[in-house]
Amino acid sequence: MARKLAAGNWKMNGTRCALDELSALAKAHPDPSVDILICPPATLIRTAASLVDGGPLLIGGQDCHSQVSGAHTGDISADMLADAGATHVILGHSERREDHGESSDDVNAKARAAHASGLVAIVCVGESLAQREASNTLDIIGGQLASSLPDGCTAANTVIAYEPIWAIGTGKVPSTAQIDEVHDFIRARMIRRFGQAEGAAIPLLYGGSVKPDNAAEIFATDNVDGALVGGASLKAADFSPIIKALEGTV
């Protein structure tokens, strides 16, 4: 079975004072039965990793460059993230694909760099509202998976996050039947490409307006092994109930 993961993406939010939320979260979950990951802005990764060292929380990055080093002003390599204490990195988020024009081939190269640096790559896929309404969801997801994932993905180095673009930050949430359909499809694709053992164990996260009041219903859906949470991960008081729902303690 896939290991459960509650991942928080702080996006472009948070200065040093926000790190107090990590202490509050660790205090609320001193011995969690699921993995808890926070991906803060790059400026906070080293400090955050030092704060949680030896504790229940993991720290990740929000993106990385495909190259180890070079003349890439403003970019951060996977090696740099690992050196700062990150264990994971989010790749191919819709905001990167849309705002920065990243293609699935770009995501593939970044995932290979992440794996080479010992990071777990959280590869995001998802459809737009127009694609959903045109009944193209599974074709879009299938294409993104095929192109974004490099050979050599395993349950130890890769996580897939399904984030319907139309649900991110909008308050709109797909029905459980819609989530179930996509997650079952992704699981089947993982097994077909990477084999039964690895494909069945690669964690599949759902992301898109996950909140304390809908988390339990989402996590009850087949093949949902956790969540990639945006705004609700910024405060321990909001993220903790989601984690408890994943643990099955609420």
Q: Are 122 and 164 in contact (CB under 8 A)?
A: no
Q: One of 29, 65, 88, 93 is an active-site residue; which one?
A: 93
Q: Is 185 exposed, middle or buried (0-12, 13-18, 19+ CB in 10 A)?
A: middle
Whether 115 is catalytic: no
Q: One of 102, 127, 163, 198 is an active-site residue; which one?
A: 163
Q: Are 235 and 17 in contact (CB under 8 A)?
A: no
Whether 127 is catalytic: no
- Per-residue DSSP letter, 4: P
Q: Which helix (H) or strand (E) holds 149?
A: none
Q: Which of 2, 44, 50, 46 is nearest to 26 (CA)?
A: 50
Tokens (6 digits) for 2: 């896939």
Q: How far apart are CA 153 and CA 230, in angstroms?
A: 25
Rounded to 5 degrees, what angle do the CA atoms 35, 148, 215 make? 35
Q: How far apart are CA 163 and CA 44, in angstroms?
A: 25
- Which residues are known to be catalytic? 93, 163
